[in-house]
Structure 1
Amino acid sequence: MAKQSKDGSPPQLKDPDLYEELRDQGNSKEKAARISNAKANPDMQPSQAGGKSPPYEEWTKEDLYNRAKEIPIEGRSDMSKDELIKALRDH
């Protein structure tokens, strides 16, 4: 889950278009926000080497389950492949 600001509001995205593009590519909300905000900051130069994993739709259900276990996502053992993808993206 993305961190909230001190007043409890969600963090502000500095590049919402890039955020949406990264989400469409299968990145989690947290990772997409982190990358889009870093790229929008002229003092930061995030690496282009990351993000080379195939989209979740190309992963096997077992690989999705193992990733959900690492995070950990509760209820993963009862989830279908589509449900695992959604849970990983929503994390």
Structure 2
Amino acid sequence: MPDPRIKNEAQYEALVKKGYSKEKSARIANTPDAGEKGGKAKPYEEWTKEELYEQAKKVGISGRSYMNKKSLIKSLRTN
């Protein structure tokens, strides 16, 4: 039975199988536009530092307030 708190159940399950914790998987799967494809989002290099910070906040990256733009991009791509 799907969990009604998870917005993107397929993505959540895939992340758990990949080894992510349930909490982190849920955060990512519940992020607005999570897992949507189609090339509509601009590359992180074109985002402002503030936009990157807000995205890092949404997905739960710790230490984000100390990161510069390059570090935020790296963290968003690897987490």
Shorter-chain TM-score range: 0.5 to 0.7
RMSD between aligned alpha carbons? 2.0
Q: Give aligned pairs, total.
A: 48
Q: List gaps (5 residues or longer) in structure 2.
A: 1-14, 20-34
Tell me whether 1:79 sits opposite 2:79 in the alignment: no
Q: Distance in 2 between matches of 1:68 and 1:75?
A: 10
What residue number does 1:53 align with? Answer: 41
Alpha-carbon separation, structure 2, partners of 1:53 and 1:73: 20
Percentage identity across paired residues of the two chains = 56
Where does structure 1 differ by over 4 angstroms across 4 or more consecutive aligned residues? none
Name which structure has the greater RCO, CA cutoff 8 Å, separation 6+: 1
More helix by share: 2
Give distance in 1, aligned partners of 2:57 and 2:39: 20
- Per-residue CA deviations over 1:13-68 (Å, capped at 9, x if unaligned) read xxxxxxxxxxxxxxxxxxxxxx8xxxxxxxxxxx8x63310000000000000000
2:52 matched to which residue of 1? 64
Q: Which amino acid letter does the alignment assign opposite residue 88 of structure 1?
A: L
CA distance in 2, matches of 1:85, 1:53: 14
